Amino acid sequence: MSELGLKYIRFIVQTEEPDDPPQPTQPAGQTAFDIMMEYVRQPYFPPIKREDTQKDVLYNDIIALLKKKQRGGWSENQESFAKIFVNRLVALLWYINPCHSTLTARSLNVPDTFKELNLYQCDKYYNNFYFTGHHKKKLLKKEKLEHLAQSLELSIGQPWASEIKWIDFISQVFELTNIVRKYVKYLQGVNFKMNVHHNNNLVIQDFNQDLQVYTIEGSQNINNKYQNLSDFLLEKNDYEFFDLEEHVPSDLMQKYHYIKDLRLNFPIIIYRYH
Protein backbone atom coordinates (compact mmCIF):
# COMPACT_ATOMS: atom_id res chain seq x y z
CA MET A 1 0.00 0.00 0.00
CA SER A 2 2.74 2.45 1.03
CA GLU A 3 4.89 1.62 -1.98
CA LEU A 4 2.01 2.32 -4.38
CA GLY A 5 0.85 5.36 -2.49
CA LEU A 6 -2.63 3.92 -1.88
CA LYS A 7 -4.82 5.25 0.93
CA TYR A 8 -8.03 3.19 0.75
CA ILE A 9 -9.08 -0.44 0.48
CA ARG A 10 -12.56 -1.36 -0.77
CA PHE A 11 -14.06 -4.61 0.55
CA ILE A 12 -16.95 -6.47 -1.13
CA VAL A 13 -18.60 -8.76 1.40
CA GLN A 14 -20.48 -11.75 -0.02
CA THR A 15 -22.65 -13.30 2.66
CA GLU A 16 -23.36 -16.56 0.80
CA GLU A 17 -21.27 -18.71 -1.43
CA PRO A 18 -22.77 -18.92 -4.96
CA ASP A 19 -24.12 -22.32 -5.90
CA ASP A 20 -21.92 -24.05 -8.39
CA PRO A 21 -23.80 -24.75 -11.64
CA PRO A 22 -24.68 -28.42 -11.94
CA GLN A 23 -22.19 -30.28 -14.02
CA PRO A 24 -23.58 -32.61 -16.67
CA THR A 25 -23.15 -36.17 -15.61
CA GLN A 26 -22.56 -39.01 -17.95
CA PRO A 27 -24.71 -42.06 -17.20
CA ALA A 28 -22.78 -45.11 -16.22
CA GLY A 29 -21.71 -47.10 -19.24
CA GLN A 30 -22.44 -44.27 -21.74
CA THR A 31 -19.65 -43.64 -24.20
CA ALA A 32 -18.79 -40.57 -26.25
CA PHE A 33 -20.26 -42.33 -29.29
CA ASP A 34 -23.56 -42.81 -27.41
CA ILE A 35 -23.65 -39.08 -26.63
CA MET A 36 -23.00 -38.24 -30.28
CA MET A 37 -25.78 -40.55 -31.46
CA GLU A 38 -28.20 -39.07 -28.93
CA TYR A 39 -27.43 -35.60 -30.26
CA VAL A 40 -28.03 -36.71 -33.85
CA ARG A 41 -31.42 -38.13 -32.86
CA GLN A 42 -32.59 -34.75 -31.54
CA PRO A 43 -35.29 -33.24 -33.81
CA TYR A 44 -34.05 -30.42 -36.02
CA PHE A 45 -35.98 -27.23 -36.81
CA PRO A 46 -34.58 -24.24 -38.72
CA PRO A 47 -33.50 -21.45 -36.35
CA ILE A 48 -35.81 -18.48 -35.90
CA LYS A 49 -34.96 -15.10 -37.41
CA ARG A 50 -34.65 -11.63 -35.98
CA GLU A 51 -38.02 -10.04 -36.70
CA ASP A 52 -37.02 -7.05 -38.83
CA THR A 53 -40.05 -7.45 -41.11
CA GLN A 54 -43.54 -8.92 -40.92
CA LYS A 55 -42.38 -11.68 -43.23
CA ASP A 56 -39.83 -12.65 -40.56
CA VAL A 57 -42.71 -12.78 -38.06
CA LEU A 58 -44.57 -15.18 -40.35
CA TYR A 59 -41.40 -17.28 -40.71
CA ASN A 60 -40.98 -17.58 -36.94
CA ASP A 61 -44.67 -18.39 -36.47
CA ILE A 62 -44.33 -21.19 -39.04
CA ILE A 63 -41.41 -22.63 -37.05
CA ALA A 64 -43.51 -22.42 -33.86
CA LEU A 65 -46.41 -24.15 -35.63
CA LEU A 66 -44.12 -26.92 -36.86
CA LYS A 67 -42.77 -27.51 -33.36
CA LYS A 68 -46.33 -27.70 -32.07
CA LYS A 69 -47.73 -29.95 -34.80
CA GLN A 70 -44.61 -31.89 -35.75
CA ARG A 71 -42.47 -32.44 -32.67
CA GLY A 72 -40.40 -35.09 -34.43
CA GLY A 73 -39.01 -32.49 -36.79
CA TRP A 74 -36.25 -33.33 -39.23
CA SER A 75 -33.05 -35.25 -38.61
CA GLU A 76 -29.74 -33.42 -38.52
CA ASN A 77 -28.75 -34.53 -42.04
CA GLN A 78 -31.99 -33.06 -43.43
CA GLU A 79 -31.13 -29.48 -42.46
CA SER A 80 -30.94 -28.12 -46.01
CA PHE A 81 -34.25 -29.76 -47.00
CA ALA A 82 -35.94 -28.29 -43.90
CA LYS A 83 -34.77 -24.74 -44.59
CA ILE A 84 -35.83 -24.85 -48.24
CA PHE A 85 -39.25 -26.27 -47.34
CA VAL A 86 -39.93 -23.62 -44.71
CA ASN A 87 -38.83 -20.80 -47.03
CA ARG A 88 -41.09 -22.07 -49.80
CA LEU A 89 -44.04 -22.48 -47.44
CA VAL A 90 -43.54 -18.95 -46.09
CA ALA A 91 -43.27 -17.54 -49.63
CA LEU A 92 -46.65 -19.01 -50.66
CA LEU A 93 -48.46 -18.06 -47.45
CA TRP A 94 -47.04 -14.53 -47.64
CA TYR A 95 -48.14 -14.07 -51.26
CA ILE A 96 -51.76 -15.13 -50.66
CA ASN A 97 -51.91 -13.49 -47.21
CA PRO A 98 -53.72 -10.28 -48.26
CA CYS A 99 -56.13 -12.13 -50.57
CA HIS A 100 -57.83 -14.64 -48.27
CA SER A 101 -61.19 -13.00 -48.96
CA THR A 102 -60.61 -13.40 -52.69
CA LEU A 103 -60.02 -17.12 -52.24
CA THR A 104 -62.91 -17.47 -49.82
CA ALA A 105 -65.22 -15.90 -52.40
CA ARG A 106 -64.50 -18.95 -54.56
CA SER A 107 -65.00 -21.33 -51.58
CA LEU A 108 -61.24 -21.84 -51.31
CA ASN A 109 -60.32 -21.63 -47.64
CA VAL A 110 -56.85 -21.85 -46.12
CA PRO A 111 -56.43 -25.25 -44.37
CA ASP A 112 -57.26 -25.30 -40.65
CA THR A 113 -53.68 -26.01 -39.59
CA PHE A 114 -52.46 -22.68 -40.96
CA LYS A 115 -55.35 -20.82 -39.36
CA GLU A 116 -53.59 -21.59 -36.05
CA LEU A 117 -50.82 -19.14 -36.89
CA ASN A 118 -50.64 -16.42 -34.24
CA LEU A 119 -51.98 -13.44 -36.18
CA TYR A 120 -54.70 -15.44 -37.94
CA GLN A 121 -56.10 -16.44 -34.57
CA CYS A 122 -56.47 -12.72 -33.81
CA ASP A 123 -58.17 -12.05 -37.19
CA LYS A 124 -55.13 -10.07 -38.35
CA TYR A 125 -52.89 -10.21 -41.41
CA TYR A 126 -49.12 -10.50 -41.60
CA ASN A 127 -48.78 -8.24 -44.64
CA ASN A 128 -50.36 -5.15 -43.08
CA PHE A 129 -48.61 -2.85 -45.56
CA TYR A 130 -50.80 -4.23 -48.34
CA PHE A 131 -53.84 -2.68 -46.63
CA THR A 132 -52.31 0.42 -44.99
CA GLY A 133 -49.77 1.49 -47.64
CA HIS A 134 -50.76 3.99 -50.32
CA HIS A 135 -49.71 1.88 -53.28
CA LYS A 136 -51.37 0.01 -56.10
CA LYS A 137 -52.88 -3.22 -54.81
CA LYS A 138 -51.82 -6.08 -57.05
CA LEU A 139 -54.13 -9.01 -57.69
CA LEU A 140 -53.00 -12.62 -57.49
CA LYS A 141 -51.11 -13.57 -60.64
CA LYS A 142 -51.56 -16.98 -62.26
CA GLU A 143 -47.86 -17.40 -63.14
CA LYS A 144 -46.67 -16.43 -59.65
CA LEU A 145 -49.14 -18.80 -57.97
CA GLU A 146 -48.11 -21.65 -60.25
CA HIS A 147 -44.42 -21.07 -59.50
CA LEU A 148 -44.91 -20.96 -55.71
CA ALA A 149 -47.18 -24.03 -55.66
CA GLN A 150 -44.81 -26.02 -57.87
CA SER A 151 -41.79 -25.12 -55.71
CA LEU A 152 -43.58 -26.22 -52.55
CA GLU A 153 -44.73 -29.46 -54.19
CA LEU A 154 -41.11 -30.21 -55.09
CA SER A 155 -40.23 -30.12 -51.39
CA ILE A 156 -43.11 -32.29 -50.19
CA GLY A 157 -42.36 -34.78 -52.93
CA GLN A 158 -39.00 -35.57 -51.31
CA PRO A 159 -38.43 -38.80 -49.32
CA TRP A 160 -38.44 -37.11 -45.88
CA ALA A 161 -42.04 -35.97 -46.43
CA SER A 162 -43.13 -39.61 -46.81
CA GLU A 163 -42.13 -40.54 -43.28
CA ILE A 164 -45.12 -41.55 -41.14
CA LYS A 165 -44.58 -38.72 -38.64
CA TRP A 166 -45.12 -36.15 -41.40
CA ILE A 167 -48.37 -37.51 -42.87
CA ASP A 168 -50.81 -35.16 -41.10
CA PHE A 169 -48.87 -31.96 -41.68
CA ILE A 170 -47.93 -32.75 -45.28
CA SER A 171 -51.57 -33.53 -46.10
CA GLN A 172 -52.42 -29.97 -44.99
CA VAL A 173 -49.66 -28.59 -47.23
CA PHE A 174 -51.04 -30.62 -50.14
CA GLU A 175 -54.47 -29.13 -49.43
CA LEU A 176 -52.93 -25.65 -49.51
CA THR A 177 -51.29 -26.21 -52.90
CA ASN A 178 -54.52 -27.80 -54.16
CA ILE A 179 -56.43 -24.63 -53.23
CA VAL A 180 -53.88 -22.54 -55.12
CA ARG A 181 -54.13 -24.86 -58.15
CA LYS A 182 -57.93 -24.49 -58.16
CA TYR A 183 -57.66 -20.71 -58.12
CA VAL A 184 -55.10 -20.84 -60.94
CA LYS A 185 -57.58 -22.93 -62.93
CA TYR A 186 -60.28 -20.34 -62.22
CA LEU A 187 -57.98 -17.54 -63.47
CA GLN A 188 -57.26 -19.54 -66.62
CA GLY A 189 -61.01 -19.88 -67.24
CA VAL A 190 -61.53 -16.14 -66.74
CA ASN A 191 -58.70 -15.31 -69.15
CA PHE A 192 -60.05 -17.74 -71.74
CA LYS A 193 -63.55 -16.22 -71.57
CA MET A 194 -62.16 -12.70 -71.84
CA ASN A 195 -60.15 -13.65 -74.93
CA VAL A 196 -63.24 -15.21 -76.51
CA HIS A 197 -65.29 -12.09 -75.79
CA HIS A 198 -62.61 -9.77 -77.14
CA ASN A 199 -62.38 -11.76 -80.37
CA ASN A 200 -66.14 -12.07 -80.77
CA ASN A 201 -67.87 -9.61 -83.09
CA LEU A 202 -71.32 -10.49 -81.77
CA VAL A 203 -73.04 -8.58 -78.98
CA ILE A 204 -72.89 -10.84 -75.90
CA GLN A 205 -74.99 -8.70 -73.58
CA ASP A 206 -78.30 -6.90 -73.55
CA PHE A 207 -76.97 -3.49 -72.56
CA ASN A 208 -80.41 -2.28 -71.54
CA GLN A 209 -80.62 -4.98 -68.87
CA ASP A 210 -77.07 -5.98 -67.97
CA LEU A 211 -75.27 -2.64 -67.84
CA GLN A 212 -75.47 0.34 -65.51
CA VAL A 213 -73.36 3.52 -65.56
CA TYR A 214 -73.90 6.37 -63.11
CA THR A 215 -72.01 9.14 -61.31
CA ILE A 216 -71.60 9.56 -57.54
CA GLU A 217 -70.76 13.11 -56.48
CA GLY A 218 -67.84 13.67 -54.11
CA SER A 219 -68.19 14.70 -50.48
CA GLN A 220 -65.80 15.67 -47.69
CA ASN A 221 -68.03 13.95 -45.13
CA ILE A 222 -67.84 10.23 -45.88
CA ASN A 223 -68.21 7.05 -43.86
CA ASN A 224 -64.94 5.78 -42.31
CA LYS A 225 -65.28 2.43 -44.08
CA TYR A 226 -64.72 4.21 -47.42
CA GLN A 227 -61.68 6.26 -46.34
CA ASN A 228 -59.02 3.68 -47.30
CA LEU A 229 -60.59 3.23 -50.72
CA SER A 230 -60.82 7.01 -51.16
CA ASP A 231 -57.14 7.48 -50.25
CA PHE A 232 -56.12 4.68 -52.58
CA LEU A 233 -58.07 6.03 -55.57
CA LEU A 234 -56.58 9.49 -55.07
CA GLU A 235 -53.37 8.02 -56.49
CA LYS A 236 -55.15 6.90 -59.67
CA ASN A 237 -55.31 8.96 -62.84
CA ASP A 238 -58.58 10.59 -63.89
CA TYR A 239 -60.90 8.13 -65.65
CA GLU A 240 -58.62 5.19 -64.89
CA PHE A 241 -60.63 2.00 -64.48
CA PHE A 242 -60.53 0.23 -61.11
CA ASP A 243 -62.28 -2.99 -60.09
CA LEU A 244 -64.04 -2.67 -56.72
CA GLU A 245 -64.16 -6.44 -56.18
CA GLU A 246 -61.09 -6.43 -53.92
CA HIS A 247 -62.71 -3.92 -51.56
CA VAL A 248 -66.36 -4.93 -51.34
CA PRO A 249 -67.48 -7.45 -48.67
CA SER A 250 -68.01 -11.05 -49.77
CA ASP A 251 -71.38 -11.24 -48.04
CA LEU A 252 -74.07 -10.39 -50.62
CA MET A 253 -76.15 -8.19 -48.32
CA GLN A 254 -73.12 -6.26 -47.06
CA LYS A 255 -71.89 -5.92 -50.64
CA TYR A 256 -75.26 -4.52 -51.69
CA HIS A 257 -75.22 -1.82 -48.98
CA TYR A 258 -71.51 -1.08 -49.53
CA ILE A 259 -72.10 -0.18 -53.18
CA LYS A 260 -75.48 1.44 -52.54
CA ASP A 261 -74.07 3.87 -49.92
CA LEU A 262 -70.70 4.38 -51.62
CA ARG A 263 -69.43 7.97 -51.41
CA LEU A 264 -65.82 9.18 -51.66
CA ASN A 265 -63.99 12.50 -51.34
CA PHE A 266 -64.26 13.09 -55.09
CA PRO A 267 -66.76 12.28 -57.86
CA ILE A 268 -66.57 8.83 -59.43
CA ILE A 269 -68.30 6.99 -62.27
CA ILE A 270 -69.60 3.52 -61.45
CA TYR A 271 -69.72 0.98 -64.26
CA ARG A 272 -71.66 -2.16 -63.32
CA TYR A 273 -72.46 -5.15 -65.47
CA HIS A 274 -73.91 -8.59 -64.93
> Which of the two residues, 106 and 129, has the higher pLDDT score?
106
Q: Is the pLDDT of residue 230 over 60?
A: yes
Give residue 175's domain range: 47-198
Of 198, 232, 255, which closes a domain?
Answer: 198
- Please give the pLDDT value at position 209: 60
Could you tell me if 60 and 159 lie in one domain?
Answer: yes
Query: What's the CA gap between 125 and 97, in Å, rounded?
Result: 7
- Please give the pLDDT value at position 58: 95
Nearest residue to 61 (alpha-carbon basis) of 136, 130, 139, 117? 117
Could you tell me if 146 and 234 lie in one domain?
Answer: no
Query: What's the CA gap between 176 and 182, in Å, rounded?
Result: 10
Q: What's the pTM value of the predicted model, to 2 decimals?
A: 0.58
Could you tell me if 104 and 179 lie in one domain?
Answer: yes
Could you tell me if 116 and 246 lie in one domain?
Answer: no
- Whether 28 is in a domain gets the answer no
pLDDT, one tens digit per residue, over 107-117 is 999 999 999 99
- Please give the pLDDT value at position 241: 82
Total count of domains within the chain: 2
Could you tell me if 125 and 251 lie in one domain?
Answer: no
Enumerate residues 6+ apart whose C-beta is below 8 A from 12: none
Q: To which H or E segment does residue 216 belong?
A: strand 211-216
Rounded to 5 degrees, φ, ψ at 42 are -65, 135
pLDDT, one tens digit per residue, over 46-95 is 999 999 999 999 999 999 999 998 878 898 889 999 999 999 999 999 99
- Whether 39 is in a domain gets the answer no
Confidence of residue 36 (pLDDT cuts 50, 70, 90): low
